[in-house]
Amino acid sequence: MVVGRPFLTVEQIQRKVKELADVISNDYEGKDLLAVGILKGAFVFFSDLVRMIRTPLMVDFLIASSYLRGDSTGDVKLHYDIRQEIADKDILLVEDIVDTGITLNCIRERVLMKGPRSLRICTFLDKTERREVQVPLDYIGFSIPNEFVVGYGLDYDNKFRNLPYISVFKKTT
Ligand code: 5GP
């Protein structure tokens, strides 16, 4: 297995997170923002993003999984759900990457069933080519080609999440 040179550098990532945070700060002025990080992959992006948002907010998390060793199973499991009452909240779901859209679509439908005041989605990466289910994305960091990427929270077999940049991952065997 090989992790190559940065595909997105630390500087590019930081600039983009700031841009997204600025737009989100303006859009959520005066609202009751509950930012929900989708774990595990979004943990790095989420913590960078919320620290740059200037409007008051609360945080919560969801743990969902649909991937096994880099291959999509299409089988979405929710291991941990939002704990707070969300009827009076403006929810922002924060995801690392949207690929087929299956995971996020399933999460979105479950959250909508609880009747939040509003629901928007922010994803750091978007692999549009691979989309199978259309999910409305309100804030997108980078649209990327159909490559398997690791780093900045994203893993292969639970490794490489701690890389500070994003790299394309290749299997050599
Ligand atoms: P989807 O349901 O949209 O096909 O898959 C979304 C999930 O698959 C993401 O939250 C992420 O965990 C995983 N995933 C999709 N593409 C990649 C990728 O290029 N790299 C990594 N590390 N995970 C990915």
pLDDT digits (tens, 9 = 90+) for 117-141: 999 999 999 999 999 999 999 999 9
Mutation pick for ligand 1 pocket among 45, 71, 99 (CB with most ligand atoms within 8 Å): 99
The pTM is what? 0.93
Nearest-CA neighbor of 46 among 5, 102, 100, 97?
A: 97
Q: Give the separation between CA 73 and CA 152, rounded to whole angstroms.
A: 23
Tokens (6 digits) for 63: 């743990």
Q: What residues of the chain score a pLDDT lower than 70?
A: 1-2, 67-74, 173
Q: How far is the CA of 35 from the centre of ligand 1 (A)?
A: 20
Q: How far is the CA of 56 from the centre of ligand 1 (A)?
A: 29
Q: Which class in CATH covers the domain with range 10-148?
A: alpha beta
Structural domain spans, the chain: 10-148
Nearest-CA neighbor of 40 among 121, 110, 113, 94?
A: 94
Q: Give the separation between CA 76 and CA 54, rounded to whole angstroms.
A: 33
User: For 88-104, how does the pLDDT look when each residue is reduced to its tens digit (9 = 90+)?
Assistant: 999 999 999 999 999 99
Nearest-CA neighbor of 83 among 31, 37, 24?
A: 37
Q: Give the separation between CA 127 and CA 95, rounded to whole angstroms.
A: 13
99 is catalytic: yes
Q: How far is the CA of 97 from the centre of ligand 1 (A)?
A: 6
Q: For residue 156, what is the DSSP state? A: B
